[in-house]
Amino acid sequence: MNILLIGATSAIAKAVSRLYAERNARLFLIARNEARLKVLADDLTVRGAQSVDFHVMDLADTENHANAVSNAKSALENIDLALICHGSLPDQETCESDFEQAAQEIKVNGLSVISLCTEISKLLKEKKSGTIAVITSVAGDRGRQSNFIYGASKSMVSTYLQGLRGKLLPHDVHILDIRPGLVDSPMTAGLEKGVLWSSPESIATKIVNSIDKKKHTVYVPGYWRIIMATVRSIPEVLFKRMKF
Amino acid sequence: MQLHGWGRFPRKDANLLEPSSPESFLEIVSEKEIAGSLIARGAGRSYGDSALADTVLSSRFLDSFLEINSTNDTIRCGAGVSMDTLLKVVIPYGLFLPVLPGTKYVSVGGAIAADIHGKNHHQDGSFCDHVERFSLLLSSGKTIECSPTENKDAFCATCGGMGLTGVILEVTLKLEKVPSVTIQRKSIPAANLEECMDLIEENEESKHSVAWVDCLAKGEELGRSVLHLAEHSQIGTKEYRSRKGPSIPFSTPSFLINKFTTQLFNNSLYKLRKQTAKRRSVNYDAYFFPLDNIRNWNRLYGGKGFIQYQLVLPLETARSGLREIIDRVSESGKGSFISVLKKFGNKNENLLSFPIAGYTLTLDFKNEKKVFPLLKQLDEIVLANKGRLYLAKDSRMSEDVFKSSYLSWEKFLEIKTELDPECRFASLQSTRLGLT
Ligand SMILES: Cc1cc2nc3c(=O)[nH]c(=O)nc-3n(C[C@H](O)[C@H](O)[C@H](O)COP(=O)(O)OP(=O)(O)OC[C@H]3O[C@@H](n4cnc5c(N)ncnc54)[C@H](O)[C@@H]3O)c2cc1C
Ligand SMILES: NC(=O)c1ccc[n+]([C@@H]2O[C@H](COP(=O)([O-])OP(=O)(O)OC[C@H]3O[C@@H](n4cnc5c(N)ncnc54)[C@H](OP(=O)(O)O)[C@@H]3O)[C@@H](O)[C@H]2O)c1
């Protein structure tokens, strides 16, 4: 299997990439920290990957996306799976008073993903197969006071993926929207962890399963589907008063 | 955040940091602002307070492999890699870890810091005897390479040094070639302690040897046990395997582990083993890590946790000393779930390593007031018999007991002071033991 991993040094992506390394996949990694990419590439090789190449870039630089994806294509020849994992958890307060900051966050979490999907879709359409899987978030399911710039960016991506799924159906390209709940990763380092938290490793197993099974939208772990259905069902009159 | 070891006692509110790379470890350690004690933590499988301090540095993200060399059978990895993950990677190469503890969830760093032993200590020594080298981050922010030939003092103080010399970052391990990972097990029941120890001596050529002892049996049956011997099978599977059994979701009320249930458990265990007193092929996972099949089994001891007490007595005193100890425990009726008896080979040069030539016995006790006086009595028997207690299990030993049994402690402290002059690395345990 030939896999393009974007935001490869994220804790979740790292855990996913290790599962594919065990399956002897060929991997192409994109992330912005070269030193950590090198470490990951060696790690994946020891764990069984057939080949590992990487490309260093800041994913907010959308103008370089075409080039990065084409590098991946030349290294892998064929892309069977592209998994987009990068993201950033912004400080909501700052984003509310500083639009530049908000725009940057929307770019990283939202626009950059759409730009990457645009480039990858072109290749997969041509090849008439493959999967694009994107990590969005349960935060996109409803705009909460504490987190709505992040949530809005993620829901933009989810909505985009719904449309893209239909558009690429005739080309046999599969689209997966992955919505994790709370994951104990560097992104959430400062937060107190409770029972609803999952490890990146357990999330990764569920992601790989969902890709194998060609699911459309998955909540990981599954119980988040119920939690979010409940959150979505709260009447707006009440919800607007909720500070969580 | 509240942290504790595997025994869930004691607990400490600590600042838990999870640096994502060796560089971020360096940044944190160099940052003099971090007040109070600082200690590394691996998988938290030590039972007591050795990985507890004001600030705790988790090796969780030091979980990368750097290289596997199948020509000279070595592997290089971060200190946070677990035995389980290592096995997953090396088994397909026909390789295996030369020393394994009773759980696959310990980290390489923790295995070095406690210089852990396996069921094959009498033949293969302890974990650090198979460590080729490691890098050690010192409190100065400098990283040094340690091996039995390079910075030997630091090597001998760090192996078994319970994290007090610095943070182990990257490790090179020597692996063992094995014909398969299927284990040929032979179980022999023994009517009492004497018989068990005779059997152990008679079967010294067996690679793995460990006895499960019923510490509640009295009189004639004192120390009745089952000896498990094992070898790697010449023909068998070369596949990694990891059972994932049920998990105990929360602390159960501790009355579940009272005298009655413990006795019941020990009795049935003895009978069960008795029936299988012959050769059997088992998977390595089931043989080496029987307890891993029930995740979080430590919660069975209730909210207050438990204490594991592991002692070793030298060969000269082992027979009478062990008899006295088991006698005392069986009399108290506070016996443990599982008691394990094993013979150690010779000691190595590491300053605080636990194993010495002799017999080691491991006992579990529910954490309750009445247990502490009993353990004090056991301490006295251990000291009188020139034995010592294992630091990786300890949560309560006194400074006196420690210093009169670990005779190299002064030499250790000398080297620690050289490596860590401001004594930034300290744990609840090291303070209790008068090392920091
Ligand atoms: C079910 C069970 C069975 C066991 N069986 C055995 C056995 O058969 N034989 C045996 O010898 N032990 C056994 N143990 C004990 C265990 O092997 C040791 O306690 C080991 O140290 C645990 O490793 P850890 O990664 O969990 O370390 P932790 O418990 O997190 O830490 C233990 C010590 O290692 C230090 N440390 C951890 N990582 C680093 C690092 N990167 N750099 C410097 N210091 C570090 C810590 O500071 C601390 O002092 C068993 C434990 C359990 C729970
Ligand atoms: N953790 C959670 O609770 C949670 C919940 C729901 C969804 N998610 C989503 O899951 C995905 C993975 O996150 P994680 O939990 O694994 O956290 P993580 O380890 O912090 O991963 C986030 C990754 O995004 C990368 N990144 C951010 N901005 C970038 C940029 N401009 N260019 C390149 N890379 C950039 C980061 O790179 P650096 O390492 O170089 O900083 C980091 O590797 C994210 O999309 C996140 O939104 C997480």
Mean pLDDT of B302-314: 94
Residue B330 pLDDT more than 60?
A: yes
How crowded is residue A98: how many other Cβ atoms within 10 Å of its Cβ?
12
CA angle B399, B403, B407 (to 5 degrees): 165
CB count within 10 Å of CB B303 equals 13
Nearest residue to B365 via CA among B301, B428, B314, B411:
B301
pLDDT at B267: 62
Phi, psi of B228 (to 5 degrees): -105, 120
Looking at residues B325-348, what average pLDDT do you find? 89
Task: Tell me, in angstroms, the distance from the centre of ligand 2 to residue A151's CA.
Answer: 14
Contact indicator for B132, B74 with CB cutoff of 8 Å: yes
A36 min Cα distance to partner chain B (Å): 8
Is B75's CB within 8 Å of A48's CB? no
Task: State the Cα–Cα distance between residues B18 and B79, nearest whole angstrom.
Answer: 13
Instruction: Give me the pLDDT at residue B245, please.
Output: 76
Interface probe, candidates B26, B65, B95, chain A, greatest A C-beta count within 10 A: B65
Write the single-letter amino acid at B5: G
Res B291 pLDDT > 60? yes
Q: How far does the centroid of ligand 2 lie from the alpha carbon of residue A185, in Å?
A: 9
Q: Which atom of ligand 1 lies at the shortest distance from residue B43's CA? A: 26
- Residues B363-411 have pLDDT tens digits of 999 899 999 999 999 999 999 999 999 999 999 999 999 999 999 999 9
pTM (2 d.p.): 0.95
Q: Residue A42: closest CA among chain B residues belongs to which residue? A: B66
- What is residue B261's predicted lDDT score, i.e. its pLDDT? 54
Give the amino acid at B395.
S
From chain A, the residues in CB contact with B64 under 8 A are 39-40, 42-43
User: Does pLDDT of B244 surpass 80?
Assistant: no
Query: How far is residue B162's CA from residue B112's CA, in Å, rounded to a whole number?
Result: 8
Q: Which residues contact A26 (CB under 8 A, 6 or more apart)?
A: A1, A2, A3, A49, A50, A51, A52, A76
CA distance A193 to chain B (A): 9
B residues 88-127 near A, CB within 8 Å?
88-89, 92
User: pLDDT tens across A7-59, in order?
Assistant: 999 999 999 999 999 999 999 999 999 999 999 999 999 999 999 999 999 99
Token code pair at residue B260: 């009655």
Distance B391 CA to ligand 1 centre (A): 10
pLDDT tens-digit profile of B136-168? Answer: 999 999 999 999 999 999 999 999 999 999 999
Residue B66's H or E segment, with its range, is strand B65-69
Name the burial class of residue B335, with classes exposed (0-12), middle (13-18) and buried (19+) by CB atoms within 10 angstroms of its CB: buried
Interchain CB distance below 8 Å, B67 and A42: yes
Residue A195 exposed, middle or buried by CB count within 10 Å (0-12, 13-18, 19+): exposed
Q: Do A42 and B65 touch (CB under 8 A)?
A: yes
Confidence band for B296, pLDDT divided at 50, 70 and 90: confident
**For residue B276, is pLDDT > 70?**
no
Contact flag A42-B21 (C-beta cutoff 8 Å):
no
Q: What is the residue-averaged pLDDT of chain B?
A: 92
| Amino acid letter for position A231 | V
- Residue in chain B closest to A47 (alpha carbons) equals B89
Question: Mean pLDDT over residues B273-294, rounded?
Answer: 81
Cβ of B21 within 8 Å of Cβ of A43? The answer is no
Is residue A140 a contact partner of residue A151, using CB atoms and an 8 Å limit? yes
Q: Which amino acid is at B172?
A: T
Domains parsed from chain A with CATH numbers: 2-239 (3.40.50.720)
Reported as a pLDDT band with limits 50, 70 and 90, residue B266 is low
Q: CA of B415: how far to CAs of A25, B115, B151, B161, B350, in Å?
A: 47, 17, 11, 11, 12
Residue B393 to residue B82: CA distance in whole angstroms: 19
Please tell me the predicted confidence (pLDDT) of residue B428.
98
Interface of B with A in 1-60 (CB under 8 A): 1, 18, 20-21, 23
Give the pLDDT confidence of B82-129 residue by residue, as tens digits. 999 999 999 999 999 999 999 999 999 999 999 999 999 999 999 999
Q: Closest Cα partner for A3 from A122, A130, A125?
A: A130
Q: Which residues, judged by CB distance below 6 Å to any ligand atom, belong to the binding site of ligand 1?
A: B 5-6, 39-46, 50-51, 59, 79, 101-103, 106-107, 109-111, 113-114, 116-117, 162-163, 167-168, 291, 392, 427
Q: For B332-397, give the DSSP string.
A: HT---S-EEEEEE----S-TT----SEEEEEEEEE--TTHHHHHHHHHHHHHHTT-EE-TTT-SS-
Distance B411 CA to ligand 1 centre (A): 23
Chain A contact set for B18 (CB, 8 A)? 186, 189
Mean pLDDT check: name the lowest of A176-185, B301-310, B350-359. B301-310
Q: Are A204 and A18 in contact (CB under 8 A)?
A: yes
Domains of chain B, each with CATH number or no CATH: 65-178 (3.30.465.10), 182-398 (3.30.70.2520)
User: CA gyration radius for chain A?
Assistant: 18
User: What is the residue-wise DSSP string for B67-96?
Assistant: EEETTTTEEEEETT-BHHHHHHHHGGGTEE
Compute the 3-state secondary structure of chain A and give helix, strand, coil in percent, each to the nearest 5.
55, 15, 30
- Cβ pair A117, A69 in contact under 8 A: no
ipTM: 0.93
Which chain A residues contact residue B169 at CB under 8 A? none
pLDDT tens, per residue, chain A with 244 residues: 999 999 999 999 999 999 999 999 999 999 999 999 999 999 999 999 999 999 999 999 999 999 999 999 999 999 999 999 999 999 999 999 999 999 999 999 999 999 999 999 999 999 999 999 999 999 999 999 999 999 999 999 999 999 999 999 999 999 999 999 999 999 998 788 889 999 999 999 999 999 999 999 999 999 999 999 999 999 999 999 998 8
Contact B67 A46 (CB under 8 A): yes
The binding-site residues of ligand 2, defined as CB within 6 angstroms of any ligand atom, are A 7, 9-12, 31-33, 58-60, 85-88, 108, 135, 137, 180, 182-183, 185-188, 200
Contacts of A153 (CB under 8 A, 6+ apart): A105, A106, A108, A109, A110, A140
Atom of ligand 2 nearest to the CA of A184: 1
CA–CA gap between residue B185 and residue B246 (Å, rounded): 25
Contact in structure between B335 and B363 (CB atoms under 8 Å): yes
